Structure 1
Amino acid sequence: MNCAALTGGERETRPMNALPRIDLEHAAQTDTPAVAVKHHAEPYRQHTIRTLAPGLFLAALIAGLALVLRQAPGVGAFSPMIIAIVIGMAFHNLVGTPARARSGVAFSMRTLLRGAIILLGLQLTIIQVAEVGAAGVAIIATTLGATFAFTLWFGRLIGVERKLAELIAAGTSICGASAVIATNTVTRAHDEDVAYAVACVTVFGSIAMFAYPLLPGLLHLDAHGFGLWAGASIHEIAQVVAAAFQDGKQAGEFGTIAKLTRVMMLAPMVLALGFATTHRMKSKGPDHTQARPPMPWFVLGFVALVGLNSAVAIPEDAKAWIATLTTFLLSMALAAMGLETDFRKLKAKGARPFLLGLAAFLFIASFSLMLVKLAG
């Protein structure tokens, strides 16, 4: 609770448990001993930890449960992030998220999320992009850009709010739930919008995961072509792996590399979207300039770790541990998102966003297939 200045000449009021502000620079220039500053600072840190702990524990508990449930038969094809948000939404709407957990939940959705996205960089290398080849990279990049543009255009056409359309566009064109929550650091949509977008990419990515393995023969695609098509168009990494390996080891490995190349494009996309949003707000006048979204510096951390992973041989055991930690943190972020999602607000959005997700899925599948066939 923040201090509030009362009007009408009344004195400033402050909650009894509020801490006095400490001006460290002033303290250094006066006789205030460093011990006194430390004495005031320590209770604040403890108060912050106590505030965050319940929400962090709840999000971590759900994330851990999601990782365990993923081992169950028939569930392994779904990302732990997807399972975590489903559990979080069920808990919030059936039981209710405790008020004292809200601070930790918000911390998980923002700070932990950014850290996890940075760590994603250690799962990618420049060499992987080279293996796809210039033609493959061109197909992936063109598909990504065209799908994002089409989704925004069709969203405007059918009356879907721009922020929600941007999230569905990012999730469909790049990497599912990870792209949705990364894009929302710039878009700043409501939690229900994020949940709706994640639901869309989960449903249609799952459909693609089961449908794609039935099509290589019908579409006359070899292992390389099928892997490229799957990697360039299916939403989640886990879904790409599950679908591409159904056509053999070569298709599976190439599909995975193509998908990771697509994931690497998350960084420039989020940066470009951040600049575009800032420019759009500035054009509305000075009142909107102050509200512009922050520069997504965490994306630069993502790029830096991609470079580090390309230049330095990180032990496989360490990379496996980091990959597990990254998945766990992302699952915590999605669990927190679910803990803030109200089904009644989702229902109020109607069927139009779902129609947009379907249209985006059909577009990316057909457009990327056309490019793969043209490239031979």
Structure 2
Amino acid sequence: MSAFRERWAERMPGLAVTATAAALAWGVHLLVPAVPLLTVAVAVGIATAQVPRARVALDGPLRPGLAFSARTLLRTGIVLLGLKLSLADIAGLGWVTIATTVAVVVLAFAGTWALGRAVGLPGREPLLVASGFAICGASAIGAMAAATRARDEEQAHPVALVTLCGTLAIAVLPALWHPLGLTATGFGHWVGAGVHDVGQVVATAQVAGTAALAVAVVVKLTRVLLLAPMVAIAAGLERRRSTDGAGPRPAIVPLFIAGFLAAVLVRTFVAVPESVLVAADVAQTTLLAMALFALGTSVRVAALLHTGWRAAAVGLVSWVLVAALAYGAVLLG
């Protein structure tokens, strides 16, 4: 019992900082609704990590709480994210839209992973960049990292890049809406299929009205649903590679992914009270904000500028690839 209390005592300073950062992100989002809350959380984490005095604390007394946030709180937030998904809403898109959305994710993932391997990104960075850009941003990076036991340092470049490119999309995609000849709902479909984070999708699609926003969110959540099978496949491959007996082998389906799928089924088949859904949404957003701030604190911009040019190139090419594939999906739909 004393060991349990000691562990929590070690975590509390870091958890207090991540909670403060989440509150700050909420405040910025409330003041400027067009700025996605989770993007603010990552950006604050990255900015904090560039201050020399702050880095001493981040790598010292705050580290246990930051590590707990980046792992356990992230996984809990992903489980709650499943309550946003109803299979009935996704089925309402029609089989053509569902099929093209799946194709966008699979092709973007495969293309980004192959490019990352081709340019020599180290370790699991190709897999993490592909997850972030093809599926659902920094949340997907954290989920894939948890399933494949990627180190925190391997997540730094992918998180920074997916946050940067997703933020750029908020400004760039609306400027291309009319030149590309898209209707409002077509624009919503394009945004949902091509922008990384759910908050960034909302910020980008809302300029075209409520109909565009509704389509964008459902298409985006269809991509989020693909997080489960893709993480499960990656975990299975990692399990097959873990044959040297060093430590426990990864689960075939990580527990938090099973929880995510269970939450989707609950949302689909159980009449969950609206008050519960609202509370779960607030909790999920807060937990992910805390987790993504913690992930952001692992980014060192100086190191990124000196050694991360290959990752930056892969991220930018992937961003264009996803947008192009998503545009093709709209035309086919």
TM-score, reference length from structure 2: 0.91
Cα distance between partner residues in 2 of 1:205 and 1:236: 7
Greater Cα shift, 314-323 or 89-98: 89-98
Alignment of 1:160-239 (within 5 A): 160-239=121-200
Partner residue, 2:284 = 326
Gaps of 5+ in 2: none
Q: Which has the higher contact order (CA 8 A, sep 6+)?
A: 2
Partner residue, 1:82 = 39
Q: Is the radius of gyration larger for structure 1 or structure 2? A: 1
Alignment of 1:1-376 (within 5 A): 41=1, 43-73=2-32, 76-94=33-51, 95-98=54-57, 99-279=60-240, 281-282=241-242, 286-287=243-244, 290=247, 292-295=249-252, 296-375=254-333
Partner residue, 1:34 = none
Sequence identity (%):
35
Q: Is the 8 A contact 2:132 2:141 kept in 1?
A: yes
Secondary structure class of the residue paired with 2:165: helix
Q: Is the 8 A contact 1:105 1:336 kept in 2?
A: yes
Output one character per residue of 1:278-305: Cα deviation in whole Å (capped at 9) or x when no partner. 23x24xxx43764754441110100001
Output one character per residue of 1:82-139: Cα deviation in whole Å (capped at 9) or x when no partner. 2222222333331225322222221111111111111111111111111211111101
Greater Cα shift, 325-334 or 294-303: 294-303
Cα distance between partner residues in 2 of 1:251 and 1:106: 38
Secondary structure class of the residue paired with 1:298: helix
Secondary structure class of the residue paired with 1:78: coil
Cα distance between partner residues in 1 of 2:45 and 2:201: 25
Cα distance between partner residues in 2 of 1:97 and 1:319: 39
Greater Cα shift, 104-113 or 188-197: 188-197
How far apart are residue 218 of structure 1 and its match? 2.5
Alignment size in residue pairs = 328
How far apart are residue 358 of structure 1 and its match? 0.7
Cα distance between partner residues in 2 of 1:342 and 1:269: 28
TM-score, reference length from structure 1: 0.81
